Amino acid sequence: MSPGALCVICGCLRPFVFPLAAENSGAATERGFHFASYVEMSRSLSNRSLRTLLISLPLLGLVAVSKPVPKEPGERTVMTRDAFWVAKTHSPAKFDLVILGDSAAYCGLSPRALSRSLPGYRILNFAYSAGGLNGAMFRAAEAKLDPKSTRKSILLAVTPLSLTARSMGNGKFLAEMGRPREYIFEKLHPAFVWDLVKPIGQREIAIMLGLPTPDGDDATYSEYHADGWVAVSARQVYPDASVPTYRKLYSEGKVLPALVRGLMEQTAAWTKAGVKVFGVACPRSPEVAAVEAECSGFDPVGFVRDFRRSGGIWLPVAGEYESIDGVHLCMRDALRFSADVAQQIAASLRK
């Protein structure tokens, strides 16, 4: 751009960008806001504030478009964590298929990967941290289904933890529901702005570039997607990392039969109302699975039997998937797991 052209742009912008300057420039005060003379335009460039603006705006744009993106496979609809939770909870969008569960579900099931085998399906991963499979969540999930859809479906990503007293609190979901209006507005509506100005973290850059992470091998990286999926990756995976936590959690409370009964009743009610209900067990590392078998009080065989009796469609996905801590699937394996689940759903729909 030639200096002359820059002067013209600056001169035109100046009264709008810096009305205070216009206020105090004699000519502008007398004649109001107007296209300044060439002399004034040249003077605009001597305004250091305007000069800073002119340097910083392209610089911001440059960083926005050139900031590194993860080298991992997967989606590119990355958003900030806050915007992610607000969008998941408060977005008015309606769906054909809603996934319910806890953090294992929102890390393990990518709606976009599912929709590859289920073309045309609008899918939302509506799982929450420590999320329960209980009445409050069932009602919330129902509200996310498009009432006009002819293929309304619910996918229950079952973990024993989501059927304990701890998960009945629905802490994360209720916290998100209770957000103030302006917070929701700020995070939801200009979400594209937040995406553009998403801060670049030190660990993020390191993982993206394949460098050793500053926090060592324990570093994990989470990528938040608009469809409710959180893609996690780590430099080093620890299949038994969740064992002590799970042991402690189950010592505080085992699976509640009342919650299992409630799930079965809801499945029957949904099936009766024409909503297809699918169920799948979230993959576990053998170490965590052993703790669950020992301490959770969950009867997987009985659960599947009752689920089928209630009208639900159980998806026997039996692949081996890698997780970062024994519970939360790594990004690549989450995509693979999602594809496997989708194929089974598609197969059951064909029957």
Partner 1 sequence: MQFNSLIFLLFATVFFGLWPFTKRNLNLRWFYLTFASFVFYGWWDWRFLFVIAGSGLLDYGAALGMTRWPQHRRSFLWVSIIGNVGSLAVFKYSGFVADTLSALAKGMGYDLALRTDLPDFLLILPVGISFYTFQSMSYTIDVYRGELKPTRNILHFFAYLSMFPQLVAGPIVRARDLLPQLRAPAPCDEPRQWEGLQLVVFGFFKKVVIADSLAPRVNAAFDAPTLSTSSIFWWAAVTAFAFQIYCDFSGYTDIARGLAKWMGYDFLDNFNHPYTSTSLREFWQRWHISLSSWFRDYVYIPLGGSRTTPCRMYVNIWITMVVSGLWHGAQWHFVMWGAAHALLYSLERATKWPDRLKQLPGGRLLAAFLVIVQVWICWVFFRATSFGQALYILKCMFAFTGGLGTGLGGRATLALSLIVLRELYVFCGFRPRVIRSAALRNVLWPVILSVMIVACVYLRGQGSEFIYFAF
Catalog residues that contact partner 1 under the rule CB under 8 A: 18-24, 46-49, 51-52, 55-56, 59-60, 63, 67, 182, 185-186, 190, 193, 197, 199-202, 214-215
> Among candidates 254, 244, 260, which has minimal Cα distance to 164?
254
Min dist. Cβ of residue 28 to partner 1 (A): 9
Min dist. Cβ of residue 167 to partner 1 (A): 23
- Of the pair 37, 202, the CB lying nearest partner 1 is at 202
Min dist. Cβ of residue 232 to partner 1 (A): 18
- Of the pair 222, 271, the CB lying nearest partner 1 is at 222
Q: How far apart are CA 129 and CA 137, in angstroms?
A: 12
Q: How far apart are CA 155 and CA 253, in angstroms?
A: 25
Tokens of 10: 């600056």
130: left (phi over 0), alpha (psi -120 to 50) or beta: left
DSSP H or E run through 157: strand 153-158
Question: Is the separation of the CB atoms in 109 and 345 below 8 Å?
Answer: no
Tokens of 273: 């109302």
- Of the pair 143, 200, the CB lying nearest partner 1 is at 200
233: left (phi over 0), alpha (psi -120 to 50) or beta: beta
- Of the pair 205, 293, the CB lying nearest partner 1 is at 205
- Of the pair 92, 199, the CB lying nearest partner 1 is at 199
> Among candidates 291, 345, 271, which has minimal Cα distance to 109?
345
Min dist. Cβ of residue 26 to partner 1 (A): 11
- Of the pair 56, 236, the CB lying nearest partner 1 is at 56
Min dist. Cβ of residue 176 to partner 1 (A): 16
Q: How far apart are CA 174 and CA 57, in angstroms?
A: 39
Q: Write the DSSP symbol of residue 95.
A: B
φ, ψ for residue 37, nearest 5 deg: -70, 165
Min dist. Cβ of residue 56 to partner 1 (A): 4
